[in-house]
A and B are shown apart, each in its own frame.
Chain A
Amino acid sequence: MEDDKIIGLFQSRDETSISELSRKYGGICKRVAQGILGDFTETEECVNDTYLRVWESIPPANPTSLAGFTAAITRNLALMRLRARRAEKRGGGAETLSFDELEDFVSGDRSVEGKAEQKELIGAINEFLYKLPDNQRQLFIRRYWGCNSVSEVAERFGMTESNVTVTLTRVRKKLKEYLLKRGYEI
């Protein structure tokens, strides 16, 4: 079914919208959630939560890309679940998504004050990402949106892990400079 029709079903509060969404984008939701949670049961729950969240969001939301909209909800719900899980376990350790390379990128202090500032920052990052070459953008999004490991990214793009690491380092450096010029201290 076309995305417009599925969105129409959501807007008319037709419950078949959920099954149509599941049929069309259930696979991608599972893939995104699984990549972050790594647990089948939690993935299933996360995907179900996604459908509910989409149901609650449309209307009023009218997404330009239903796939991206749904995937983003899944991703954010999966991250929330992961953090909740991490908080429950002593020491965190293996449960923590490893983003060691971000140590040098972010200050480590809480700095985003409120939704408005976050929205502005997201806008700036969107601008930056749109300007990036395709391959760099895809690497960056896979790693920091999809939370794929460096090895997964390398496998997907047919690159060596060190090549991926170097590319990501350069993009992060560019992003940091880009944001600093616009007055964002990250």
Chain B
Amino acid sequence: MTKDEFLDVMGGIDERLIDSTLDISRMETVIVPYKRPPVLKYILCAAACAAMIFAVAGGVRYFNGKALLPNSGNSESSDSSVADSTDGSKVSGESTVNSSVNNVTGWNPEDILDSERHVGSSAVISTAELDGISVSLIMHNITKLPGEPYSANGYDYTDYYGAEDIVLYAKDDKGRKLLEDYVTPHNSAGVNFLHKDCLFDGSTRLYKSRQNGEEYYVLMQYSDYNKENDAFIAGFYNVDLDMYTDNRIKDENGILRCGLECYRISGPKRIGSWWAGYPASKSFGYKEGAVFADPEYGYEITIGAPAKARVIYPADMPDGYEELDPDNITGWDPEKLEYNPYPEVGESAVVSTDTVDGITVSLIMYNVVKRPGESDYRYTEECYPNMWVAENICLYIKDGEGRRVMGYLPSILYTDNARILPKECLFDGCTRLFGTEQGGETHYLIMQYIDHDVESDSTQAVFIDCDMELYTANVSVDENGIAIGGGLRPIGVTGSESLIGSFEYCRVSKGFEHTKGTTFIDPEYGYVVTFDFKNHSAKAVRYQPEGWNPEELNYGEPRIGGDAILSSASLDGIDVTLIAHNITHLPGDEIDGQNHTKVCAGNLCAERVLLYLKDSEGRRVLSTQINSLVTTAHHRIPEECLFDGCTRIYEVEQDGETYYLLMQYAEYDEEKDALLATFYILDMELYDAESPKDENGISGGGLWFITISDPAEKRIGGWWQAYQASKGFEYKDGTTFADPEYGYEITFDMKKGTAKVVYPSE
């Protein structure tokens, strides 16, 4: 059996063996399947921590809900009543509430029995009940009352309540508990804001809806008031208590933080929009099936299966409103954000920016949830060490013509309703914009650091082709007229994993810089990357600094300290030269016994003696050592090898294909008075492949040593890559050459890179 056969046989083994070995179930949960991001570790860690928290929380405390006043409604719906804040009345209820020992969230909705709203208090604002399910709007730790002037993020919050948390809390008589904290679009510096006019009797409503024979509960919560249009905005949620299962992670109070899923609502006449809100008057109500009606605003809405709903205006739609894709409603405008490289929790800011040719690219953090070194109850420092966590982290680009684009960063930054960014990726210069030239056109390239690998302490970045011309073509815009994703196309860099990491994220050091054209260099990680904007690709090759450029040497007659062209040959536009750089010893010089010993006698010594090739397309290749007479400090070539014609290039044919054979006389056997030559396959096409290049763009690839087999064992000295060849060595036919002096023929196999010597006289 051959090795390949064995591997083929292994390919047929039982699928179940593979299944059990490859951790299929774990792999399914990988957010970025291509690589093992450090982020994944945190996600897994977070899951483990949360699971542990759940285990510690132990017994579930039950609250019978009497404190949360339901509004008696019909069997199909229930409106809330709002606890009256003016008389300061408190609502009593039965509770076995204990203070939490392991309180990660810092508060438990069950502990909040108060309805009084003053700074420092926490209150149940309104409650709706239906079929044993109760849903309450809760403000935790009120920090601001209406009437106090305050503005942030471009909004005037004077008429708003401010609270550390504004949440919807649902539970049923089976002890299942859900919580949703996306209630209001307004958040700044860790404070959520809710308009005072949203707190009216019936502002929280619970409906039973029917569709396709199934019943489900729809929660409605008035969440904002648009003063300009005198319009209320409400959020709609699917209440799915069946999500409350044992295997889902709860907080320390046994509360599941999903199951109240917000509907994204499509339809025209969107006022004061954010992705989780839609205009709804106080007269909004259930109609039939899955249809709800708003007689005041004149529309019907079908709230079907999660998580999208459709609005229909039977009457003519007024001017001034446009239809928006609910997925493109951000609810915030980057233009209103200011630069702040270290925003507070709850703040939104431009954290990094760069400008080239009037195009400004900004990294934006929207609604910071956690800063590095700090903890949030959902995103602890233990599970997300040194991480920024924000509701959104994205790029915002604006050009001189006012075109605006927002681009979301790769999913590596995504976790559980938030985005994360290692602290190592946020520094002055972490967002970079380059103007590059390719084919006479300017292309703009955005680079954004997005990940940090702790083990190797390396940062990774994503590269994005920024083409603002694409802005106008087939892009959808958000409510601020910003194109979502239009004109931004990530470019994956290919190259060896040791150089650039794996797949689309590239290891990039802070020393990464633009050299020329579309070529960049990363001296620290040791690669050169060239972008091809036409083919939308990029290739990285190892960067091997030489410290000298054969194109810039001052060639002359061989002299100590000088550079010289020792010989040359040309064929089909390919020029080959044997060059000596920084000559240190000439063949006739005395031996000093220090820098040059007797082995240097009769040799030309230089810092480098190499073959340099250049073709008509400008591709340039520098050989590695040409013989065995090499030390760290010196390359040597015997005087006997330096004669007119010591560098030769031949064109040979094999199986209808043309190949170039390069020959260089490189060694001399004094004892047998024999010259030895080194043979190469010359393939300039390899220049463009994965071959490493130095800082001058010169490749180390393109030359392949040919291995020569000598069945008659007539090999004379030298190194294994050289073979004896007299000056009379000549081309015969095909790929065969003859050496009349040594009496052999040598046939090259250019495909395999081998050659076989035959001595006919034997």
Contact = CB atoms under 8 A, between A and B. Distances in A.
Contact of A31 (B3, B18, B33): B33
A: contact size bracket: 35 or more
A138 B33 CA distance: 21
B22 A39 contact: no
A102 to B, nearest CB: 5
Interface residues of B, number: 39
Contact of B17 (A83, A103, A129, A147): A129
Residue of A67, A106, A126, A144 contacting most chain B CB atoms (<10 Å): A67
B30 interface: yes
A147 B760 CA distance: 46
Interface stretch (A4-12, A52-60, A114-122, A161-169): A114-122
B207 to A, nearest CB: 30
A110 B2 contact: yes
Interface string B1-40: 1111111111111111111011010011010011000000
Interface in A12-70: 24-28, 30-32, 34, 38-41, 63-65, 67-69
Given A28-B33, A40-B494, A118-B12, A71 B6 contact: no
A31 B11 contact: no
Contacts of B21: 137-138, 141-142, 145-146
Contacts of B496: 38
A125 B10 contact: yes
B11 A68 contact: no
Given A30-B34, A111-B1, A69 B753 contact: no
A86 to B, nearest CB: 10
Nearest to B749: A90
B704 interface: yes
Contacts of A121: 9
B11 A145 contact: yes
Contacts of B8: 76, 79, 112, 118
B1 A38 contact: no
B13 A65 contact: no
Contacts of B267: none
Nearest to B681: A90
Contacts of A25: 24, 28
B502 interface: yes
A159 to B, nearest CB: 15
Contact of B6 (A32, A40, A105, A129): A105
Given A110-B5, A141-B21, A144-B10, A64 B28 contact: no
A65 B752 contact: no
Contacts of B502: 34
Given A90-B704, A129-B13, A141-B13, A28 B7 contact: no
Nearest to A38: B497
A119 B751 CA distance: 36
B1 A106 contact: yes
Contact of B27 (A31, A91, A122): A31
B28 A24 contact: yes
Contacts of B16: 64-65, 68
Contacts of A137: 17, 21
Contacts of B22: 28, 32, 67-68, 71, 146
Contacts of B30: 27
B13 to A, nearest CB: 6
B1 A67 contact: no
Nearest to A139: B21
B492 interface: yes
Contacts of A34: 34, 502-503
A26 B33 contact: yes
A127 to B, nearest CB: 10
B13 A125 contact: yes
B496 to A, nearest CB: 8
A81 to B, nearest CB: 13
A108 B1 CA distance: 5
A112 B9 contact: yes
B494 A72 contact: no
Contacts of A71: 15, 18-19, 22, 24
A91 B5 contact: no
Contacts, number: 147
A9 B2 CA distance: 39
A130 B21 CA distance: 12
B723 to A, nearest CB: 18
Contact of B19 (A68, A108, A126): A68
Given A40-B503, A68-B19, A141-B17, A122 B1 contact: no
Interface string B33-59: 110000000000000000000000000
A30 B33 contact: yes
Interface in A156-182: none
Contact of B494 (A24, A39, A63): A39
Interface string A69-111: 1011001100100010000001100000101001101111111
Contacts of A108: 1-3
A27 B33 contact: yes
A72 B7 contact: no
B195 to A, nearest CB: 40
Nearest to B504: A40
Nearest to A99: B3
A106 B494 contact: no
Contact of A109 (B1, B10, B12): B1
Interface in B669-688: 681
Nearest to B751: A90
Contacts of B751: 90
Given A30-B34, A144-B6, A126 B13 contact: yes
Contacts of B28: 24-25, 27-28
Contacts of A129: 13-14, 17
Contacts of B34: 27, 30-31, 34
A119 B3 CA distance: 17
Given A40-B492, A109-B1, A75 B753 contact: no
Contact of A106 (B5, B12, B752): B5
Contacts of B504: 40
Contacts of A31: 27, 33-34
A99 B5 contact: no
Residue of B8, B496, B681, B751 contacting most chain A CB atoms (<10 Å): B8
A39 B18 CA distance: 23
A57 B7 CA distance: 22
A30 B401 CA distance: 41
A69 B15 CA distance: 5
B6 A186 contact: yes
A72 B18 contact: yes
A14 B681 CA distance: 52
Contacts of A144: 6-7, 10
Contacts of A24: 28
A78 to B, nearest CB: 10
Given A31-B27, A68-B19, A90-B751, A186 B1 contact: yes
Nearest to B30: A27
Contacts of A141: 10, 13, 17-18, 21
A83 B13 CA distance: 20
B494 A145 contact: no
A106 B24 contact: no
Interface string B359-398: 0000000000000000000000000000000000000000
Contacts of A122: 9, 12-13
A78 B24 CA distance: 19
Given A26-B33, A27-B28, A91-B753, A102 B15 contact: no
The 9 closest A-B pairs by CB, nearest first: A27-B33, A68-B15, A68-B19, A68-B18, A122-B12, A67-B24, A65-B15, A65-B19, A186-B1
Given A24-B28, A39-B494, A122-B13, 17 more contacts: A25-B28, A38-B497, A65-B19, A68-B19, A90-B753, A106-B1, A109-B2, A111-B2, A119-B12, A122-B9, A125-B10, A126-B13, A126-B14, A129-B13, A129-B14, A129-B17, A145-B11
10 contacts: A26-B33, A30-B34, A79-B8, A90-B753, A118-B12, A125-B10, A129-B14, A130-B17, A141-B10, A145-B10
